[in-house]
Chain A
């Protein structure tokens, strides 16, 4: 499978715990994006990387959120001290750095904070 891969698919955690999600992009794609989607809404941009550099962060990305892409390949998104409002689907996408910059999405990680 050469698509975008995310792990885990589902995560249930207690409020206050830390969680980490992983995204493996399409191998030749050097851009990687994170989005969050809450029920009934469209996905919202969180952050993106070009290779290992994090080039843009949304104001949705509070201090409790951190994302890394240490070797320009896979990426991790960590949420510290989770809150119930963090419950959402977290989507990862990747694209080329040149036209066509068509983005392809993974299956997402559904987080439930109880």
Chain B
């Protein structure tokens, strides 16, 4: 099956800092999503981005499908950005395979 690796595994930021999270995947995909898991466990959709670039406020994402990676950018981080960020990929339109996540802590 598809392998998904996220880096870094842990990230500590000072409020206001910018950061980049990376997701590498081992095969062609037709679905790629970024999620933020809140402290109560819910997965919040950030981006559906099988290719190209999208922006939503302070967050943006880029997927280069031909090179099998995606990047999530967080600018001007806030304490509410803390949590775990997951990249998940899918092929043939079915199940998602998740990476191990990046645990982000934003300090005030």
Contacts and interface: CB of A to CB of B under 8 A. Distances in A.
B86 A56 contact: no
B41 A45 contact: no
A44 B98 contact: yes
B43 interface: yes
Contacts of B48: 100, 102
A34 to B, nearest CB: 10
B83 interface: no
The binding surface of chain B is classed by DSSP as strand
Contacts of A105: 35, 42-43, 45
A43 B41 contact: no
Interface residues of B, number: 23
Interface string B9-44: 000000000000000000000110101000011110
Nearest to A97: B93
B31 A101 contact: yes
A23 interface: no
B64 interface: no
Contacts of A37: 41
B95 A41 contact: no
Given A42-B86, A42-B101, A103 B41 contact: no
A108 B42 contact: yes
Given A48-B94, A101-B31, A102-B48, A107 B42 contact: yes
Contacts of B100: 41-42
Contacts of B88: 42-43, 103
Interface of A: 33, 35, 37, 41-45, 48, 55-56, 58, 89, 91, 93, 97, 99-108, 110
Interface of B: 4, 30-31, 33, 35, 40-43, 45, 48, 86, 88, 90, 93-101
Instruction: Please provide the 4 A-B residue pairs with the shortest distance between their CB atoms, ordered closest to farther.
Output: A42-B98, A102-B48, A45-B95, A105-B43
